[in-house]
Each structure stands twice: as C-alpha cells, then as structure tokens.
Amino acid sequence: MSASIIDGKAFAEGLRGRIGAEVARLKSEAGLTPGLAVVLVGEDPASQVYVRNKGAATEAAGMLSVTHRLAADTSEAAVLDLVAKLNRDPAIHGILVQLPLPAHIDEARVTQAIDPAKDVDGFHLVNVGKLQTGDASALVPCTPQGCILLLRDAVGDLSGKRALVVGRSNIVGKPMAALLLAENCTVTIAHSRTQDLAGECGRADIVIAAVGRARMIRGEWIREGAAVIDVGINRVPAEGGKTRLVGDVDFDGAAARAGHITPVPGGVGPMTIACLLRNTLIAACRSRNLPQPEV
Ligand code: GUN
C-alpha cells in the first residue's frame, strides 16, 4: 500500500478560515470579540517564534491578541499577579503562558493559577480531570485535539479501532489516549519501558508517535493500511552542513505500508495553533453562555 498523505497545513488553514468566519459572526451578532492573552517570560528563541506566530494567527482570525513579554528575571509573584489580572479581564477569554518558564518560576504553580475557563492549553487540573472523566466542558490540549481532527477527517469513525499512543507526556500522550478512548478506540500507551514496541505497532490500526526521538518508529513495524500520526519535530543533520526537520516515524518506510500518514513538517504542527484559536473561540462563547460553534 502507498499511504495517502494527510495535509495538516491545508486542514489547519481551512479550520482557521472557519474560525475566522465564526468570529466575524460573533462580533456582528453578539458584539463579542474573542480575546487571547499570551505571556512570554524571558528570551528563549524558539518560544519567541512560537509566541509571534500565535499572535499573528490570533489577529488573522479577527480575535483580540494581547502579548505580554516579561524579562527573564521577572519574579514568580509578578507572573502570578499578571495571571490574576488576566483572569479578571472580561476582554480576555483565553490565557496561555508559554513554557518553558525560567528555572526560578514554578511552572505548575503558574499553570494552576489560570482560570480553568480561560485555560486554552488545557493544562489546568480541572480540565485534565474533566477530559479523563468525559466531561464535555473540558478545554482540551491543542496538539492531541489537532490529531483527533485530522484522524476523523482521514479515517472517519474511529470506533473500535486499535490505537497505539507512543509517549506518555502530560501535554500529548496522556490527553491523546483519553481522546482516543472517548472516540471508542481500544487504546494502548507505549513508552520507553515498553518491551515489544514493534509488536505493539504491528497490531495498531492507528499509531500516534509522540516520543521526541527522530525516526524511532520504523516503517516495517507499521501494519498495512494503518493511520500514522507523527507528532515529533526533531532537527537532524542534513547534506551540506544544513539541518532539517523529521518526525518520530521513519516517513518513507511507513508511507509504503500505511493507509494514511502525516508528514513532518506540514502534518500535526499547523494544527496546534489552529486548535488554540478553536479553544479561544469555545471559551469566549461559553463566557456568554452562547452555543459552542461547530468548526
Ligand atoms: N511550549 C511548547 N509547547 C507549548 C504549548 O503547547 N503550550 C505552552 N503554554 N507552552 C508550550
């Protein structure tokens, strides 16, 4: 089999367009402009790029975008004060504190200080608990949510499928497993101590790779016709002293066997920001008891 390539970039553009249309409707019909505040502490270069991209995407969707850039030596108390202010601000419906934070700031304390109703990352324990218990009012972490949207689009009904999640992080692996369970998949979580990863992959109709190790999932492990979602973004040396991005899956080998596969880049990556906008839109609608838009 030769896999059909899941075009996450195109899907994310479509989703962002639908969100933008919904924002325009909310503005004109309800006088509501969804607002997202992003907090960046310090000068981490990768974080600066992410935060700039998030701000640009938020504006492009017609939302209010507010970015707070704080010096690397900002105290934890000052960050908590800012979060408290944003929690109270009626123009702000979503709050994202970019991670990692400088070492002197307790990430968990800051994450848990965000109002769960504005927690568009879905990292607050209230949202983690809601996701685990199947409460539809959860705000769901963006990357796994993006994977589910791509899977539903490519595969259709996921019910009864055997899904393997490789990786058990709080940001991707664990919420991914909860979302697949909610889709009625039979879910396995594999990790660094898993004894027979090749065998687990070979039984899976759906493989989600989220380990952060370049091309660790070998093509020959993939079951014929499986759907492969690659969350990994790894920079590796390339020809001419350059570098390039590859996923956690050996793409060429897996594409020869899979039914559907996401490329890196251009697969899951663009979905994360689109789902951040989706969560902000959802949070804004809930703040006014408006029905949750289907986007
Ligand atoms: N840093 C890298 N990824 C993320 C993310 O999804 N959310 C936040 N807040 N910080 C990040």
CA of 143 to the centre of ligand 1 (A): 10
CB of residue 78 inside a 6 A radius of ligand 1: no
The CA 28 to ligand 1 mean position distance, Å, reads: 32
| pLDDT over 90 (residue 219) | yes
pLDDT band at 11 (very low <50, low <70, confident <90, very high): very high
pLDDT at residue 119, rounded to an integer: 99
**Catalytic: which of 121, 205, 230, 250?**
121
188 pLDDT band, cuts 50/70/90, is very high
Whether residue 1 has pLDDT greater than 90: no
Q: What angle do CA 264, 182, 154 make, to 5 degrees?
A: 40
Instruction: Map out the domains of the chain with their CATH numbers.
Output: 30-115 (3.40.50.10860), 142-269 (3.40.50.720)
The residue whose CB lies within 8 Å of the most ligand 1 atoms, and thus the one to mutate among 142, 145, 171, 276, is 171
17: confidence class by pLDDT, cuts 50, 70, 90: very high
Neighbours of 108 (CB within 10 A): 9
- Ligand 1 lined by 96 (C-beta under 6 Å): yes
CA 52 to ligand 1 center in whole angstroms: 13
CB of 98 closer than 6 angstroms to any ligand 1 atom: yes
User: What is the per-residue pLDDT for 108?
Assistant: 98
- Closest atom of ligand 1 to CA, residue 171: 6
Interval 94-121 mean pLDDT: 98
Q: Is 289 left (phi over 0), alpha (psi -120 to 50) or beta?
A: left
| pLDDT band, residue 187 (cuts 50/70/90) | very high
| Residue 14, pLDDT score | 98
Report pLDDT digits (tens) over 115-148: 999 999 999 999 999 999 999 999 999 999 999 9
Tell me whether residue 112 is one of the annotated catalytic residues.
Answer: no
Q: What is the DSSP letter of 93?
A: -
Which DSSP helix (H) or strand (E) runs through 190?
A: strand 186-190
The CB of 264 under 6 Å from ligand 1? The reply is no
Residue 176 near residue 165, CB atoms below 8 Å:
yes
